[in-house]
Amino acid sequence: MNVLILGGSGFLGAAVAQACERAGADVRVLSRSGRAPAGEGLRGDVRMPRLGLSAADAARVRQETTHVVLCFGSVSWTSGPGEVLETHSSGMRSALAFLRELPALRQAVHVSSLLALGRAEGRVTNRELYTGQRFRNWYEYGKYCAERLARDADDLPVGIVRFGPVLGPDPRGGRPDTRHGLPVAFPHLLAGYPVHLARRGDFPCWVTDVSSAAEIVLKALGTPIGRATWSWFDPALPTLADVFTEVCRPWGVVPKIVEAGPLGRFTRLLGERLGTPRELVDYTEPWFDLDVDVLKEIPEPWPVPDPDYLAATGRALRDGTRRRALA
């Protein structure tokens, strides 16, 4: 297997690159920085023709690549439309165009997000993508566009793997990134500030750990997934309250989770003023009703998420903070 990982220098891409390398694959990682957590690093940009590669590198990659993972672009829930659509829509289009030029391509996997389902009404499965939903932010819409493009590319062997928030210590080492997505709430809670959640956060948030997510991508490449869609989350189904409690535990902090029920539809307006971080204000109520049986569409055996990954996230944050303070 000769794998090209677009966005392979990132949090999830690094774990995928390392899992592919452990499985004996030849790994190439492309990103704008060109950093390689495993295999060969290539500097490029998915928004550019030929992925921004030199003619010589593009020819080599075209000739040798048999498998591709598309996991580029950040998970910032507060990015604007320009940045999101340039990456997740235009970038996806040009990445798919590049895939069409690979004579030996056997399988590609697009890393999608369950958040592409937005505020889907009713029970959703792997079949649905558009259900008439509204989107909470441009990230959700961008991931919807990217998955739409992957689904519509029916001339290509592209399968789709959907994840909710992926947590755990950063496979590249260092302090976990708390600038985007759900992790934005961690420093806020650790500092003793409250978050307002419906049912005090007693609803699933579809998290998983980064190692099991990477193993699922590897399984999708090798099984292979074909043109199917899989969704993966921790089968133990931790609630949002469980996630916050476990991440805060190594700090000796009990998160202040306040019932948002009485605020009703004003939660969004008031949440931020009452202290809920901006990224989280649209996620304070159950996100969508996902049929948990979607897991069964992934051939067994399934990877087992590290039983301690939530506390390990908290410990990595604590140790990274100490290291930073000592530096």
Ligand X SMILES: NC(=O)c1ccc[n+]([C@@H]2O[C@H](COP(=O)([O-])OP(=O)(O)OC[C@H]3O[C@@H](n4cnc5c(N)ncnc54)[C@H](OP(=O)(O)O)[C@@H]3O)[C@@H](O)[C@H]2O)c1
User: Where do the H-state alpha helices sit in the chain?
Assistant: 11-22, 55-64, 81-85, 92-99, 138-152, 185-190, 210-222, 240-248, 267-271, 309-326
| By the rule CB under 6 A, 87 interacts with ligand X | yes
Give whichever of 40 and 45 is closer to ligand X, judged by the CB atom. 45
- Per the CB < 8 A criterion, the answer to whether 167 and 310 are in contact is yes
Site track 135-154 with ligand X (rule: CB under 6 A), x = hit? --------x-----------
With CB under 6 A as the contact rule, the residue among 85, 111, 216, 220 that binds ligand X is 111
| By the rule CB under 6 A, 166 interacts with ligand X | yes
Contacts of 182-187 spanning 24+ positions with Cβ under 8 A: 182/207, 182/243, 182/279, 182/280, 182/283, 183/313, 184/77, 184/277, 184/278, 184/279, 184/280, 185/244, 185/277, 185/279, 185/280, 186/244, 186/247, 186/248, 186/313, 186/314, 186/317, 187/317
With CB under 6 A as the contact rule, the residue among 159, 181, 201, 271 that binds ligand X is 181
| By the rule CB under 6 A, 117 interacts with ligand X | no
How far apart are CB 58 and ligand X at their closest, in Å?
14
| By the rule CB under 6 A, 7 interacts with ligand X | yes
How far apart are CB 9 and ligand X at their closest, in Å?
4
How far apart are CB 170 and ligand X at their closest, in Å?
9
With CB under 6 A as the contact rule, the residue among 37, 41, 91, 238 that binds ligand X is 91
- Per the CB < 8 A criterion, the answer to whether 189 and 276 are in contact is no
Contacts of 265-273 spanning 24+ positions with Cβ under 8 A: 267/196, 267/198, 270/196, 271/196
From 10-18, 96-104, 130-138, 286-294, give the range in contact with ligand X by CB under 6 A.
Answer: 10-18
Q: What's the one-letter identity of residue 291? A: D
| By the rule CB under 6 A, 171 interacts with ligand X | no
Closest C-alpha among 279, 256, 235, 238 to residue 115: 279
With CB under 6 A as the contact rule, the residue among 2, 18, 65, 74 that binds ligand X is 74
Handedness of CA 20, 22, 23, 28 (dihedral sign): positive
Kindly identify the residues of this chain, within the stretch 22-61, that bind ligand X according to CB under 6 A: 31-33, 45-47
| By the rule CB under 6 A, 63 interacts with ligand X | no
Q: What's the one-letter identity of residue 268? A: R
Give whichever of 140 and 267 is closer to ligand X, judged by the CB atom. 140
Handedness of CA 260, 270, 193, 176 (dihedral sign): positive
- 327/321 Cα distance (integer angstroms): 10
Q: Give the residue closest to ligand X by C-beta.
A: 10
- Per the CB < 8 A criterion, the answer to whether 68 and 105 are in contact is yes
Residues in the chain: 327
| By the rule CB under 6 A, 220 interacts with ligand X | no
| By the rule CB under 6 A, 169 interacts with ligand X | no
Give whichever of 77 and 250 is closer to ligand X, judged by the CB atom. 77
| By the rule CB under 6 A, 110 interacts with ligand X | no
| By the rule CB under 6 A, 73 interacts with ligand X | yes
From 18-26, 60-68, 72-80, 215-223, give the range in contact with ligand X by CB under 6 A.
Answer: 72-80
| By the rule CB under 6 A, 10 interacts with ligand X | yes
Residues in contact with ligand X by CB under 6 A are: 7, 9-13, 31-33, 45-47, 71-75, 87, 91, 111, 113, 143, 163, 165-166, 181
